[in-house]
Amino acid sequence: MMKKKSKAAVDGLLRDWASRQDFRADSLSELENKVMRNTRECLFEQNDGKQAAACWHFSMWRNLSLASVMVVAVVLVLVLPFSVQDRDIQRPDGANVQTVASFTPEQLAARKVVFDELNALFGGALRWVSVTERDFQFDFEADVVRPATPPVVLRTVILTRSEDGRAWEPVWNMDVILPADEYVTLEKPDAPIPQLGLWVHQLPDGGFVVQTDFGGAGTLADSRMQTFLPGDPDVQMTSLHSGDTEYRVTQSLAVIAGEAS
Amino acid sequence: MEAQEHISDEALIAAFRMDGMPYHLDMLFSRHIGKVRTMLYQMVLHDADADDLTQDVFRLVVRNIEKFSGRAAFSTWLYRVAMNRAKSFLKRRQRHPVAYGVDAPEPSGCSSLEPDLALATRELDERITKAISMLRPKMRAAVILIIMQGVPLSEAARIEGCAIPTMYWRVHEARQQLRKLLEEEL
Q: Judge whether residue B106 has pLDDT over 80.
A: no
Task: Judge if B73 and B124 occupy the same domain.
Answer: no
CB count within 10 Å of CB A191 equals 17
Alpha-carbon dihedral angle through residues A53, A54, A55, A61, given to the nearest 10 degrees: -120
Element at A20 (helix H, strand E)? helix A2-20
**Cβ contact A14–B147 (<8 Å):** yes
pLDDT for residue B138: 93
CB count within 10 Å of CB B165 equals 10
User: In angstroms, rounded to a whole number, what is the distance separating the alpha carbons of residues A179 and B54?
Assistant: 20
* Sign of the torsion formed by the C-alpha atoms of B5, B51, A127 and A37: positive
**Cβ contact B38–A51 (<8 Å):** no
pLDDT for residue B35: 93
pLDDT for residue A234: 64
**Cβ contact B95–A10 (<8 Å):** no
Check residues B123 and A8 and name the one with the higher pLDDT.
Answer: B123
Q: Judge whether residue A157 has pLDDT over 60.
A: yes
pLDDT for residue A93: 44
Task: Judge if B69 and B29 occupy the same domain.
Answer: yes
User: In angstroms, rounded to a whole number, what is the distance separating the alpha carbons of residues A108 and A110?
Assistant: 5
B152 touches chain A (CB under 8 A): no
Task: Tell the burial category of A258 from Cβ atoms under 10 Å away from its Cβ (0-12, 13-18, 19+).
Answer: exposed
pLDDT-wise least confident of A196-200, A216-220, B142-146: A216-220
Task: Judge if B8 and B94 occupy the same domain.
Answer: yes
The three-state secondary structure class of A35 is helix
User: In angstroms, rounded to a whole number, what is the distance separating the alpha carbons of residues A232 and A255?
Assistant: 7
Q: Judge whether residue A260 has pLDDT over 50.
A: no
Task: Judge if B83 and B120 occupy the same domain.
Answer: no
A224 touches chain B (CB under 8 A): yes
Task: Judge if B51 and B135 occupy the same domain.
Answer: no
Q: Judge whether residue B135 has pLDDT over 90.
A: yes
Cα–Cα distances in angstroms (integers) from residue A235 to residues A249, B40, B120, B131, B150, in the given order:
11, 36, 54, 42, 49
pLDDT-wise least confident of A190-204, A224-238, B2-16, B135-149: A224-238
Contact call for residues A249 and A212 (beta carbons, < 8 A): yes
Number of domains chain A is built from: 1
Kindly state whether residue A37 falls inside one of the protein's structural domains: no
Task: Judge if B123 and B94 occupy the same domain.
Answer: no
Task: Judge if B91 and B127 occupy the same domain.
Answer: no
Task: Tell the burial category of B66 from Cβ atoms under 10 Å away from its Cβ (0-12, 13-18, 19+).
Answer: middle
pLDDT in tens, A62-99: 334 444 545 555 555 555 555 544 334 333 344 444 44
pLDDT for residue B2: 47
Check residues A157 and A164 and name the one with the higher pLDDT.
Answer: A157
The CATH number for B177's domain is 1.10.10.10
Task: Judge if B91 and B46 occupy the same domain.
Answer: yes
Average pLDDT, chain B: 85
Kindly state whether residue B106 falls inside one of the protein's structural domains: no
Kindly state whether residue B182 falls inside one of the protein's structural domains: yes
pLDDT for residue B41: 94
pLDDT band at A142 (very low <50, low <70, confident <90, very high): low
Q: Which domain holds residue B74?
A: 1-98
Contact call for residues A258 and A249 (beta carbons, < 8 A): no
Chain A, nearest residue to B37 by Cα: A23
User: In angstroms, rounded to a whole number, what is the distance separating the alpha carbons of residues A50 and A52?
Assistant: 6
The residue out of B64, B98, B132 marking a domain boundary is B98
Alpha-carbon dihedral angle through residues B65, B68, B73, B77, given to the nearest 10 degrees: -70
DSSP states of B123-156: HHHHHHHHHHHTS-HHHHHHIIIIIIS---HHHH
Of all residues in chain B, what percent carry a pLDDT higher than 90? 54
pLDDT for residue B136: 92
pLDDT for residue A47: 66
Q: Judge whether residue B101 has pLDDT over 50.
A: no
Element at A98 (helix H, strand E)? helix A97-100
pLDDT for residue A61: 36
Q: Which domain holds residue A66?
A: 61-255
Q: Judge whether residue A54 has pLDDT over 80.
A: no
Task: Judge if B11 and B82 occupy the same domain.
Answer: yes
Kindly state whether residue A26 falls inside one of the protein's structural domains: no
Map B27-65 to HEC letters. HHHHHHHHHHHHHHHHHHCCHHHHHHHHHHHHHHHHHHH
Kindly state whether residue B21 falls inside one of the protein's structural domains: yes
Residues 6+ apart with CB under 8 A from B183: none
Check residues A100 and A104 and name the one with the higher pLDDT.
Answer: A104
The residue out of B75, B98, B121 marking a domain boundary is B98
Contact call for residues A39 and B24 (beta carbons, < 8 A): no
pLDDT band at B109 (very low <50, low <70, confident <90, very high): very low
Kindly state whether residue B183 falls inside one of the protein's structural domains: yes
pLDDT band at A145 (very low <50, low <70, confident <90, very high): low
Q: How many residue pairs bridge chain A and chain B with CB atoms within 8 Å of each other? A: 138
Q: Judge whether residue B104 has pLDDT over 80.
A: no
Kindly state whether residue A67 falls inside one of the protein's structural domains: yes
Task: Judge if B126 and B41 occupy the same domain.
Answer: no
The CATH number for B83's domain is 1.10.1740.10
pLDDT band at B113 (very low <50, low <70, confident <90, very high): low
Q: Which of B31, B33, B122 to mutate to test the interface with A (most CBs of A within 10 A)?
A: B33
Task: Judge if B155 and B90 occupy the same domain.
Answer: no
pLDDT for residue B55: 94
B34 touches chain A (CB under 8 A): yes
- Strands, E assignment, chain A: 126-131, 136-140, 152-162, 169-178, 184-187, 195-202, 208-215, 223-229, 234-242, 245-255
Q: What is the mean pLDDT of residues A215-225?
A: 75
pLDDT for residue A171: 85
pLDDT in tens, B40-93: 999 999 999 999 999 999 999 998 888 888 888 999 999 999 999 999 888 887
User: Which among A28-32, A80-84, B84-88, B95-99 has the top mean pLDDT?
Assistant: B84-88
Name the nearest CA neighbour of B20 among A212, A74, A39. A39
pLDDT for residue A58: 29
The residue out of B36, B65, B98 marking a domain boundary is B98
Number of domains chain B is built from: 2
Chain B residues close to A58, C-beta within 8 Å = 69
Contact call for residues B178 and B131 (beta carbons, < 8 A): yes
Edge-first strand listing for the sheet containing A223-229: A184-187, A195-202, A208-215, A223-229
Average pLDDT, chain A: 72
